[in-house]
């Protein structure tokens, strides 16, 4: 019986390690990206809905829109709007966020936004233009 338990324990460790190696975390710290004022909810998504976006380097920047919506800049030229499945009430107050990824892509309904040690699943991703992102950030 103990040998079965030992094999199951080793199998669990191997599976956990394999999953851990496949999922990376990309983070960004940006004190200037947060605002002291509460944000209004986004009435409608902006941009084109996509299933994923590439992250070849750490995220360039981020901007909180509300408790469930964040603009992340994968590069200085490409923003994406992330809608979270659940509200993160700490989001407006944190100095850094992280994004899980599978390889070099972040996927909606699979990856998560990491805020203050908690994971918030990404429900939808929208590819935006720089102008759309700047306007939405200005309005919020």
Question: How does pLDDT run across 85-136, given as a tens digit for each residue?
Answer: 999 999 999 999 999 998 899 999 999 999 999 999 999 999 999 999 999 9
Give a yes or no: residue 8 inside a domain: no
DSSP 95: S
Question: How does pLDDT run across 68-92, given as a tens digit for each residue?
Answer: 999 999 999 999 999 999 999 999 9
Phi and psi torsions of 70, nearest 5°: -140, 140
Give a yes or no: residue 92 inside a domain: yes
Give a yes or no: residue 96 inside a domain: yes
Name the token pair of 8.
């199951």
Supply the pLDDT for residue 45.
65
Give a yes or no: residue 132 inside a domain: yes
Number of domains in the chain: 1
Name the token pair of 31.
């004190």
The Cα 129–Cα 19 span in angstroms is 34
Quick one: which H or E segment has residue 3?
Answer: helix 2-22
C-beta of residue 25 within 8 angstroms of C-beta of residue 114: yes
DSSP 117: T
Instruction: Report DSSP letters for 31-93, one per residue.
Output: GGG--SS--PPPSS--SEEESEEE-SSS--EEEEEETTEEEEEEETTEEEEEEESS--TTTTT
Question: How does pLDDT run across 7-31, given as a tens digit for each residue?
Answer: 545 545 444 433 343 444 455 554 4
Name the token pair of 123.
């429900």
The Cα 64–Cα 39 span in angstroms is 8
Domain assignment of residue 80, given as a range: 24-139
pTM: predicted TM-score of the whole model, two decimal places: 0.70
């Amino acid at each position: 019986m103990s040998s079965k338990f030992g094999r199951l324990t080793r199998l669990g460790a191997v599976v956990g390690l394999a999953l851990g190696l496949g999922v990376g975390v990309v983070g960004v710290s940006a004190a200037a990206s947060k605002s002291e004022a509460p944000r209004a909810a986004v009435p409608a998504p902006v941009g084109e809905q996509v299933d994923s976006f590439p992250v070849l380097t750490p995220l360039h920047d981020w901007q909180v829109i509300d408790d469930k919506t964040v603009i992340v800049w994968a590069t200085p030229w490409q923003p994406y709007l992330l809608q979270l499945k659940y509200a993160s009430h700490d989001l407006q107050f944190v100095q850094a966020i992280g994004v899980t990824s599978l390889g070099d892509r972040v996927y909606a309904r699979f990856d998560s936004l990491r805020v203050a040690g908690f994971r918030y699943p990404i429900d939808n991703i929208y590819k935006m233009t720089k102008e759309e992102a700047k306007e939405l950030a200005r309005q919020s």
